[in-house]
């Protein structure tokens, strides 16, 4: 925990820019028009890093918004997933889209291949509840 305090540190972009990096290690101040035109900055640079999401989670916690903070911590894990995989898992969580085994396999994949225990827990929780409520596939 970096001990962030919303009064002094939010918005991170203006108050604590040194804490923020792009996926290629650039600072916010490096994302300039010139850098875009030379190709130095690419679309992948306009993505948020898991570390930044965890800092925003600290801000949310400090604002007494624990569920928002948990959302950010799940999203920090999800930065590691490709856009395609994110959409696939979302679709798999829809009613009657997956069997219990399929959901549990996704949870295992999240935990073991993507270091995403919080997302895995969400999926396992869904599998349990869907089973009890009859919204699994077949």
Partner 1 sequence: MSMAHVAGEAGQGARTSKRSQILEDRPVNLDGFVEEWPEVGLVAMDSDNDPAPSVRVEDGVIVEMDGRQHADFDFIDQFIADRAINPSVTERAMALSAVEIAHMLIDPKISRDEVIAISQGLTPAKLLEVAKTMNVVEMMMALQKMRARRTPSNQGHTCSARDNPVQVVAEAAEAALRGFSELETTLGIARYAPLVAIAQQVGAQTGRGGVLTQCALEEATELDLGMRGITTYAETISVYGTEAVFVDGDDTPWSKAFLASAYASRGIKMRFTSGTGSEVLMGGAEGKSMLYLEIRCILIAKGAGVQGLQNGSISCIGVPGAVPAGIRAVVAENLIASTVDLECASGNDQSFSHSDMRRTARFLPQFLSGTDLICSGYSATPNYDDMFAGSNLDAEDFDDWNVLQRDMQVDGGLRHVPEAEILAVRGKAARALQGVFSYLDLPPITDHEIEEVIYAHGSKDLPFRDVLEDLKGAQSILDRGITGLDLVKALEATGFRDVAENLLAVLRQRVAGDLLQTSAILDADFNILAAVNDANDYAGPGTGYRPTGARWEEMKRLRHVMSAADPEQEAV
- What is the contact surface with partner 1 in residues (CB under 8 A)? 6, 10-14, 17, 20, 22, 28, 31, 33, 36-37, 41-43, 45-49, 52-53, 55-56, 59-60, 63-65, 67-72, 74-79, 81, 83, 86-87, 89-91, 93-96, 119, 122-123, 125-126, 129-130, 133, 135
Angle at 52 between CA 51 and CA 58, to 5 degrees: 95
Nearest approach, Cβ of 99 to partner 1 (angstroms)?
15
Nearest approach, Cβ of 109 to partner 1 (angstroms)?
14
HSE-up (13 A, CA, CB side) for residue 128: 7
Residue 100's φ and ψ, nearest 5 degrees, are -60, -40
Which CB sits closer to partner 1, 63 or 112? 63
For residues 119-132, one letter each, b for 16 or more C-beta atoms within 10 angstroms of the residue's C-beta and e for the rest, the string is bbebbbebbeebee
- Which one, of 71, 67, 30, 28, lies nearest residue 53 by Cα? 71
Nearest approach, Cβ of 112 to partner 1 (angstroms)?
18
Which CB sits closer to partner 1, 133 or 138? 133
Which CB sits closer to partner 1, 95 or 112? 95
Count other C-beta atoms under 10 Å from residue 64's C-beta. 8
Which CB sits closer to partner 1, 20 or 104? 20
The H-or-E segment that residue 12 falls in is helix 12-15
Which CB sits closer to partner 1, 112 or 125? 125
Nearest approach, Cβ of 56 to partner 1 (angstroms)?
5
């Amino acid at each position: 925990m970096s001990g962030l305090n919303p009064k002094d540190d939010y918005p991170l972009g203006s108050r604590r820019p040194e804490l923020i990096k792009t996926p290629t290690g650039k600072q916010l101040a490096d994302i300039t028009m010139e850098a875009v035109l030379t190709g130095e900055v690419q679309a992948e640079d306009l993505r948020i890093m898991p570390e930044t999401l965890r800092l925003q989670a600290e801000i949310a916690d400090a604002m007494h918004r624990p569920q928002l903070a948990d959302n950010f911590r799940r999203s920090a894990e999800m930065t590691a997933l490709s856009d395609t995989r994110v959409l696939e898992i979302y679709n798999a969580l829809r009613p009657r889209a997956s069997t219990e085994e399929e959901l549990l396999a996704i949870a295992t994949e999240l935990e073991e291949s993507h270091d995403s225990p919080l997302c895995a827990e969400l999926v396992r929780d869904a599998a349990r509840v869907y089973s009890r409520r009859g919204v699994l596939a077949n």
